[in-house]
Amino acid sequence: MSPTYDVIVIGLGGMGGAAAHHLSARGARVLGLERFGPVHNRGSSHGGSRITRQSYFEDPAYVPLLLRAYELYADLERASGRDIAVLCGGVMVGRPDSRTVSGSLRSAREWDLPHEVLDAREIRRRFPTLAPRADEVALYEAKAGLLRPENTVAAHLQLATRQGADLHFEEPVTRWEPYRDGVRVHTAEDTYTAGRLVICPGAWAPRLLADLGVPFTVERQVMYWFQPRGGVGPFLPAHHPIYVWEDADGVQVYGFPAIDGPDHGAKVAFFRKGEVTTPDSIDRTVHDHEVAAMADHMSGRLPDLPGTFLKAATCMYTTTADEHFVIARHPAHPGSVTVACGFSGHGFKFVPVVGEILADLALTGSTAHPIGLFDPARLTAAPALGAST
C-alpha cells in the first residue's frame, strides 16, 4: 500500500506551520496534525509579540539564518496580506562585558551588520523611556524590532491550506513508528502513513522525542503588560525600541513598545527566569508576587512603565543544555524522520527559515543552510533507543 501522504508534520505552531507551508509550496502532499486548535495559546507561539534582531549575542553562527528569516518574513507578509513585522529598532543594554552587549557586538562586527554603540547619556537622549546606569552601554540596531506570533502562525497555516495541505486540529498524536519505507502516525482519531515525518513538538518534545536521547527542560515563563504612567505615547514604536537588558548579576529582561493601542500597554518579561514544568502541569495563573517582582525590577530601568498592571500570560520554553536548537534528521531514522525542537526561548525569529530547512531535509535529505550547531549528537549521552514513543 502506498503512503497516503508524502510528509506528515506533527505540531502546527510556529515551526510546524512554517514547515507545512514550505513543504506544500514545493508540491508535497502534506498532512499536519495539531493537538489544539489553530493559533492556540497553550504552547510557545503566542503573546502578541516576539523580538527579532540580527546582532545575535547567542552566537554569530545564527546570523546567516536571521538574514534569510528577514527575507522570508517579508515574503510571508506579501503573500498573506497580514501584518507581521515592525522594525522599530532595538537596544541590547548592559555593562560592556555583559553577554548581551559583548555578544551582540561580536556578531555585528563578524557579519558587518549596521549598528551603533551608545553610552548611557546617549541612550537616555535618544530613548527617554530608558534609564540606564552610568556604567551601562547599548548596542543599537535599526533593523531590530518585533514579530506578531499569532499572525505569523495564521499566515503559514493560511498559505499551507491554500497550497493543498490537509491540516487537522484538536487531534493529538499518541505515537509514531517506522512503517515499510516510511512512517506510521497514530492519533486519538486515526492512523496515517507517509513517506516522511517532520516533528515540531514544542514543549511536548520530551514525550514525542524521548528516543532522541536529548535532555530537554521545559520552563514556565510569564509575560506582563503594564500601562505606563502618563499613557503610552512615549512608548509607541516611533519613540520606544525593543530591548534586551542585562543587569550586573546576569539577569536579562526584554520588552516592547506599545503596539496595540492605548488600552493594551507595553509588554515586558524576564528572559530565562522560569520554573521547571511540563505541558500538563504548568501553572497558568500569574500570582501577585510575580507581578510585584517584575514591576520592582523594571522600576529602576523604565521608571514610567510599571504604572498600572494590566494582564499577564504564561508560555513555555523548551531548553537544551547549551541553549542551542535541535534541527536535524533523526539519527535513528535519517531517511524518514526530521526533528526541530529545543528552541530554548529564542527560536521564534527563525520560524520561516526553520520551515525552509525542514522542507529541505524532509524532501532532499540535506540543506544549504548552516545547521551544524544544531546537531543533536552534541547533547546525547546514549544512542537512540527506538522510534516508538
Q: Is 139 annotated as a binding residue?
A: no
Q: Is 281 annotated as a binding residue?
A: no
Q: Is 43 annotated as a binding residue?
A: no
Cβ 163 vs Cβ 24: under 8 Å: yes
Q: Is 18 annotated as a binding residue?
A: yes
Q: Is 173 annotated as a binding residue?
A: no
Q: Is 385 annotated as a binding residue?
A: no
Q: Is 31 annotated as a binding residue?
A: yes
C-alpha torsion 25→28→31→36, nearest 10: -20
Q: Is 33 annotated as a binding residue?
A: yes
Q: Is 66 annotated as a binding residue?
A: no
Strands (E), 63-132: 85-86, 90-94, 116-118
Q: Is 6 annotated as a binding residue?
A: yes
Q: Is 108 annotated as a binding residue?
A: no
Q: Is 10 annotated as a binding residue?
A: yes
Q: Is 16 annotated as a binding residue?
A: yes
Q: Is 9 annotated as a binding residue?
A: yes
Q: How far apart (Å, rounded) are the C-alpha atoms in residues 90 and 66?
A: 15
Q: How far apart (Å, rounded) are the C-alpha atoms in residues 41 and 327?
A: 23
Q: Is 213 annotated as a binding residue?
A: no
Alpha helix (H) residue ranges in 147-287: 149-162, 205-208
Query: Strand, coil or helix: what is 155?
Result: helix
Q: Is 35 annotated as a binding residue?
A: yes
- Other CB atoms closer than 10 Å to residue 278's CB: what's the count? 13
Q: Is 20 annotated as a binding residue?
A: yes
Q: Is 26 annotated as a binding residue?
A: yes
What does the DSSP 8-state code read for residue 228? P
Q: Is 29 annotated as a binding residue?
A: yes
Q: Is 30 annotated as a binding residue?
A: yes
Q: Is 25 annotated as a binding residue?
A: yes
Q: Is 250 annotated as a binding residue?
A: no
Q: Is 292 annotated as a binding residue?
A: no
Q: Is 298 annotated as a binding residue?
A: no
Q: Is 14 annotated as a binding residue?
A: yes
Cβ 257 vs Cβ 241: under 8 Å: yes
Q: Is 199 annotated as a binding residue?
A: no
Query: Residue 130 to residues 121, 158, 266, 335, 382: CA-CA distances in angstroms?
Result: 10, 39, 13, 51, 48
The annotation places the binding site for FAD at 6-36
Binding residues: 6-36
